[in-house]
Structure 1
Amino acid sequence: MNWKKLLFNWRVLLLTIFIIGSIASLLTYGLTFGLDISGGTAITVKLEHPVDQNTMEQVKVSLEKRLNQLGVKDIKVEPWGDQYIIVKVAGVTEEEARSVKETIERQGVFYAEFEGVIFATGEDIVQVFPIQIEPKGTYYEWSVPFRISKQAAEKFAQLAKDKAGYPVDMFLDPPVNSLFVVPQEGYNLMITDFKGEAPDAMPLTERIKKAFNIDTIAYTNQSIDEIVNLAKDKKLVVLVSVDKNLRDQLEAKGITVRYFEPQQGEDLKSLITRALGLYGPYSLGSGLAQGIPQTDVRITGTAPNQYIAQQEAQVIAVVLSSGSLPVKVYVEGSQYISPELGENFKRQVLIAGIAALIVVGLVIWFHYRKLRIAIPVTFTSLSEVIIILGIAALIKWNLDLPSIAGIIAAIGTGVDQQIVITDELLGRSKREKIVKRSSILKRMGRAFFVILASATTTVVAMSFLFKFFVGGLRGFAFTTILGVIIGISITRPAYAEIAKFLIGEKR
């Protein structure tokens, strides 16, 4: 076989076509990187209880709808089993990541309440209008205007007639049927404040008891047994700025607990409203106290700067417009990686990849002491990397660190298989002396039988990971399978032809 015949061999031509096509794909589409390289946030979401496939799909679609309305790019919502969902958002800032988390945590259950009577729910929301933000001195006020149904407006008009100044409460995801535990100071605030401009209005503690069956107690170092007894027949216990040990003791008793502690700069009153999911209370204007139905209402709030005001208002608007989730969800954990750190990962991965190819070439050279073996092996490994990356760019596969580890694993397997082919061609004995044992075709047949058996077991094992797992394991499995398939169908046959020319006919 001469050089011209080798270059026009169909296996070598196939390899050349795939290399050229992969380079074109990389130049046209570029690579898409995962969170651990490009930066972003990964959030683990737990459903309240295991669900069937249809319900899981409803939750997935609802979350996708909400998050897409935030205007954040590269969102992936991946169900994991029957009770978990992994939400991945690439290329976001820390503030955007916080908005994504808050949006997920909102169940989207809306209630409007007046003097303990619920007059509107999420089903009564007809339309949500664009958010509004206005500067107010040293802070910004945001508002989310929306329209409620005529029936809800008429019910509110009857309740509010001649009660100007009374508080109107709006809730998103209140802790229905719960025990609300606050410090004595917080309990006093709930009794005396939250009344709008009407001193004789019903205290907040009574309003939430009547509307949502929320019992409020002041924590004064009661024993754990007393708390457990008070929480009997309740769905959960909400602890607001009290001893953390109480949370651990209640959870040890099998009681569901939500714990809230103040964030930076947050006072106790603001913490209570956050724990209740309360917006307001809003003092009822005299115009609304005339018994005339008004369908246009709004939720308002304040923020220290325009950006935070925009984020908070957008979350509320998205939740109101998308409606409630079919099952309650809780954020189990989250991980944020800054884009700057991701850029460092890219450089490190590139350096590691180049170093690995160089080391492979050196090891092969030291083993055989022949450049005509070391160079083709190194070139074949490089071509496999190019083809894998080209296909990944074409299908927009997110390359994360486990995916890159899968590429390295596939290349390592490929080098092993090329050594098998080389040794069969050399016909080495145990003493490393060249011995002609059989024809080249027979030796190649033995080599490819070993290669095919090894590739089959690898693909079967990785297919299990790809099918039943998500996240890093799935990415590792995908690139490993892709690398093995490319190896046995494209690069390994081409290398065999090149090796036969360089070794088989040169001995």
Structure 2
Amino acid sequence: MNPIAAVKSNWRILLLVVFVSFAVVALFVPGGIMADDSLGGNESVQESPTNLEFGLGLEGGTRIRVPVTGMTAEDIASDAVSEEGQVDQERLEEIEGTVEQELDLDPANASVDVQEDGTVTAEVFTGSVTQAEFAAALQSANVDASEDDIRDGVTQSTRDQMIETIQTKINAAGLSGGTAYEQTTATGEHYIVVEVPNMGANELRNILSERGVVEVVAYYPGENGNQTNETVLTGDDIATVDPPQQREQGDGYVVPIQVREESAQQFQGRMNDIGFTSDGVGMCNLRGDGESISFDHEGEQYCLLTVADGEVVDAHSMGDRGGNGLATNMRQGTWADDPTFQMGAQNQQDAQSLSVNLRAGSLRAPLDFSESQVYSIEAAHADQFKQYSLLIGLLSVVTVSGVVYGRYTDTRVALPMILTAVAEVVVLLGFAAVIRMPLDLSHVAGFIAVVGTGVDDLVIIADEVMDEGDVSSERVFQSRFRKAFWVIGAAAATTIVALSPLAVLSLGDLQGFAIITILGVLIGVLITRPAYGDILRRLLTDQ
């Protein structure tokens, strides 16, 4: 047989070899072919002999399930959206400003937006406001709303944005294997669930309790001579963020950032207007103790304050460095062409937190930890579970191998069957490594189920092919194999349909079991079962 004909005849076996090879690379080669993690990951993953990531049950850590703090008034202010779908942005800003003023809220704690269905929704993100007060504030903005129009909780878009921000924050902090997702109860209550391996409950709660609202505030003498605070940069104005660095001169740390082009001109102009690039150069004498900044000072101060979640973490002046620094570039109007800037922090922990918050963005709403549910597992216990899981996996393979060999007593049938089942698990593990799926106890149960269902299907193939005696003819083999494949194809479809609801719904550990089982069935039907058929054909028929 010429090489081309051999490839065409055995392409299913070659396909299985290719998939197993890629899986081995993904599992064991450092870096492998895993999905890119541009935000950084936990280096501890590379200390493992494999590239697999593990969840709480196999690594230890904490899971927190917590609702979002807030109230929502839906389908209001129809006058803000025309019949053609045009949005009156000024009207939305008017409503939002009135709500903030009437309820004495910061801008971060109120929002009025147009949803995907074209309706206007108002939200407040605080637990200190009642539904009656919220309704009264909306009525002050000429919105026809009552307490009956207001419900506890936030919109789906707000929850989606928060989950994305939390996931980015977890990745940026290098918390490998951490994940965030939404969970909905049977009564319609919505929760955000965050799982982070190798982290205690208090530490994770501290990370999530920070909304991550970062601002640069100008602290300068106002027209009446009193010191004035004015926000001149927010997290939304930041384009890129570099890792924290220690100051070249003096104590403390800095986080280098680049300001967005559209915000740079405005920031540069404002610094010139209020005197930071002229009289205010080097005029900041506020001092800190490494944790907080003291505002006990004499004389006029021109300070750029780094503020995180309302707390001042650093204060520094506008420098000039011999006439070639930030102040000079802003005076000359050239800084906006390369708008780099440094936010300060007094210690490394604050600098790292600042960097993470700038990269991830701020949480749209706070989380209500008074209604949270926490699950933690110690790393020592998780390590035991990992060892037991490996032992059970090996026992399942050995047991299945013994049963298969005892049934057929023919290595031509039994050995390929065992190797094919193992190859299926290897491919599935490689896929988990590529997509960085944190494996947990539920996934281990799924792998064991995959071994069982896989061998069941291979037994069906072997029995169907060998049941009616002589199978030396390739034509006879193909006819019997197709009949068997229809049976296992129908069984696979039934399994996928039955487990799909568990894979889609937020049902905790059941979801992981369903996902692994469905992936295993798909890999089996598309790759390993056909390959096993080709192997049997080569071993049992006359070539």
- Give the TM-score taking structure 2 as reference length: 0.51
Residue 32 of structure 1, CA deviation: 2.0
Identity of aligned residues (%): 34
SS at match of 1:456: helix
What is the aligned partner in structure 2 of residue 43 from structure 1? 64
Map 1:215-234 → 2, pairs under 5 A: none
In 2: Cα distance, 1:486 partner to 1:72 partner: 30
Q: Which amino acid aligns with 1:9?
A: N
- Give the secondary structure class of the aligned counterpart of 1:326: coil
Per the TM alignment, residue 312 of structure 1 is displaced from its structure 2 partner at its CA by 9.0
Match of 1:78 in 2: 181
Output the amino acid matched with 1:348: Y
Preserved contact between residue 177 and residue 437 of structure 2 (Cα < 8 Å) = no
Is the contact made by 1:99 and 1:315 (CA closer than 8 Å) also made in structure 2?
no
CA contact (8 A) 1:41 1:337 kept: yes
Q: Quick one: which of 154, 161, 181 aligns to 1:58?
A: 161
Compute the displacement of 1:447 (Å). Answer: 0.8
Map 1:352-431 onto structure 2 (within 5 A): 352-427=392-467
Unaligned runs of 5+ in 1: 111-119, 133-141, 145-149, 151-278, 302-308, 429-433
Displacement of 1:442: 3.2
Contact 1:421–1:496 under 8 Å retained in 2: yes
Partner of 2:420, secondary structure, is: helix
Query: 1:99-150, CA deviations, whole angstroms, 9 ceiling, x for partnerless residues?
Result: 221232356799xxxxxxxxx9x9959689x999xxxxxxxxx999xxxxx9
Alignment partner, residue 465 of structure 1: 502
Residues 1:327 and 2:365 are matched in the alignment: yes
SS at match of 1:475: helix
CA drift at 1:342? 3.3
Do the aligned partners of residues 131 and 444 (structure 1) sit closer, same or farther apart at CA in structure 2, a change above 3 Å counting? closer
- CA spacing shift, 1:286–1:466, aligned 2, 3 Å: same
Instruction: Sort the Cα spacing of 1:501 and 1:320 in 2 relative to 1 into closer, same or farther, 3 A.
Output: closer
* Cα distance change on mapping 1:69 and 1:34 into 2, 3 Å: closer
How far does the alpha carbon of each residue in 1:438-484 deviate from its partner, in whole angstroms, 9 at most, with x for none? 94333222211111101112222333332233653332222212211
Greater RCO structure (CA 8 Å; 6+ sep): 1
Greater alpha carbon shift after TM alignment, 392-401 vs 449-458: 392-401
Pick the structure with greater CA Rg. Answer: 1
Residue 496 of structure 1 corresponds to 533
What secondary structure does 2:368 align onto?
strand
Aligned-pair RMSD on alpha carbons? Answer: 4.9
For residue 484 of structure 1, the aligned residue among 513, 518, 521 is 521
Which of 196, 205, 229 in structure 2 is aligned with 1:89?
Answer: 196
* Cα deviation, residue 315, structure 1: 6.8
CA distance in 2, matches of 1:398, 1:469: 16
Assess, with a 3 A threshold, how the Cα gap between structure 1 residues 65 and 378 changes in structure 2: closer, same or farther: closer
Paired residue for 2:19?
Answer: 18
One-letter amino acid matched to 1:472:
D
Q: 2:386 aligns with which of 346, 349, 352?
A: 346
Residues 290-301 of structure 1 mapped to structure 2, 5 A cutoff: none
1:56: how far off? 1.2
- Size of the aligned set, in residue pairs, is 342
Structure 1 CA distance for aligned equivalents of residues 301 and 13 of structure 2? 83
Equivalents in 2 of 1:311, 1:40: separation in Å?
21
CA 1:52–1:500 in structure 2 vs 1: closer, same or farther (change >3 Å)? same
TM-score by length of 1: 0.54
The runs of 5 or more residues in structure 2 that have no matched partner are 33-50, 70-151, 215-226, 236-243, 247-251, 255-269, 271-290, 314-346
Q: Once the 2 structures are TM-superposed, how far is the Cα of residue 7 of structure 1 from its aligned partner? A: 12
Q: 1:380 to 1:65 in 2, by over 3 A?
A: closer
Tell me the alpha carbon deviations over residues 51-75 of structure 1, each in whole angstroms, 9 at most, x when there is no partner.
3331112222443465566564443
| Residues 323 and 398 of structure 1, relative CA distance in 2, 3 Å threshold | closer
Provide the C-alpha distance between the structure 2 equivalents of 1:478 and 1:38, rounded to a whole number of angstroms.
20
Matches within 5 A, 1:285-324: 285=296, 287=298
User: CA offsets, 1:19-78, max 9 Å, x none?
Assistant: 222222222232222222223222212124443331112222443465566564443222
In 2, Cα distance between the equivalents of 1:372 and 1:326? 62
2:60–2:379 Cα contact (<8 Å) kept: yes
Amino acid at match of 1:499: L
Quote the offset at 1:323 in angstroms.
8.5
> Aligned partner of 1:353: which letter?
G
Give, in whole Å, the separation in 2 of the partners of 1:26 and 1:320: 33
Deviation string, structure 1 residues 195-252 (Cα, Å, up to 9, x no partner): xxxxxxxxxxxxxxxxxxxxxxxxxxxxxxxxxxxxxxxxxxxxxxxxxxxxxxxxxx
Indicate if the aligned counterparts of 1:426 and 1:503 stay in contact, CA closer than 8 A: no
2-structure distance, mates of 1:423, 1:363: 14
